[in-house]
Amino acid sequence: MSHDILRLKEYAIRRVTTMEESIKISYLMIDIWEMSELEAVPTFEMRAVADIGTVLMAYQYDEPDEPIGYIYAYPNFDKEYYKHYSHMMGIRKDWQSKGVGYNLKLAHRKLALESDPKIYAIEWTVDPLLPNNAALNFGKLGCVCSTYKVNYYGLPRDIGIYMGVPTDRFLAKWILESDDVIAKLDGVKKPDLEDLLSRFPVLNSIEDDEFTPLDVSEDEVQRTGAFLVEVPSDFQRIREKSVETAVDWRLRFREICLSYFGSGWEVCDYFSFKSTSGRRNFYKFRKRN
């Protein structure tokens, strides 16, 4: 189609321009997030935002009217520059982990940099303990974060994937032409696990799914100027097994973030490695410039 933004081998990404598309995205939203109609974005609102912001859908070539993923974002204005707030992104379950989310973000970035006035950054909230989120936003896109939102959506009874666990969120900031972003999009080489652990102190380990603090001095953290926090490779499995353990993870990670964000640090990267004991995942924190 003439208004496609990106065309891939099996699917393309285009702007949403009709009410019919908005309705289908709303139903997809409900299915992906296991939410009620009350919690979904109203279709009339989505249609209006499509004109003043950015609403994108990914679709297969043989089913051009059926979305397999979407982005819903609207404009915002900072004291220094224009930006977008990307309220939601979702990928149909049979298309998850296939790069659709990454390409939706690239399409949004392309439109933002071509807009007039130019959009310099895109922000969105993200659950910091879901590994797919972290790998995409920090490991592949180059986002940074220094804002932690405590129990942002409350304790929603109708959203199955969060039932019983506080809905804490990172406010991820994607500065579209920053050195961090350019390096990630250019495919900067990642360190291996041994190299990473030799360069930065790690505040904790994971033992039997539980957060275990390590004996790391604050002097060492300050001297290095960066540190790591190990996080679960499958937070949803932990929640399904024990809500109490999942809540403990939420509260311990919250404490670290609130403390360090409040004293001038930010999350700047995310690493995931296969090891003999299973997958190991780490956030990297650094002093803000």
Q: pTM for the whole thing?
A: 0.91
* 179: its two tokens: 């050195």
The distance of Cα 250 from the centroid of its chain, to the nearest Å, equals: 16
Q: Is the pLDDT of residue 159 over 60?
A: no
CA torsion angle 23 24 29 35 (round to 10): 60
Using the CB atoms, write b or e for 208-241: b if 16+ within 10 Å: ebebeeeeeeeeebeeeeebbbbbbbebbebbee
Q: Is the pLDDT of residue 1 over 60?
A: no
Other CB atoms closer than 10 Å to residue 1's CB: what's the count?
10
Res. 81 pLDDT band, cuts 50 70 90: low
SS (H, E, C) 187-204: CCCCCCHHHHHHHCCECE
Decide: residue 39, CB within 10 A, 0-12 exposed, 13-18 middle, 19+ buried. middle
Per residue in 208-255, pLDDT (tens digit) is: 999 999 999 999 999 999 999 999 999 999 999 999 999 999 999 999
Give the pLDDT confidence score for residue 79 in this predicted structure: 66
> Would you say 61 and 12 are in contact if contact means Cβ atoms under 8 Å apart?
yes
Distance CA 136, CA 146 (A): 17
Res. 164 pLDDT band, cuts 50 70 90: confident
Q: Region 134-151: what's the mean pLDDT?
A: 97
Per residue in 40-75, pLDDT (tens digit) is: 899 999 999 999 889 999 999 999 999 999 999 998
Beta strands in 78-150 (DSSP E): 82-91, 121-126, 148-149
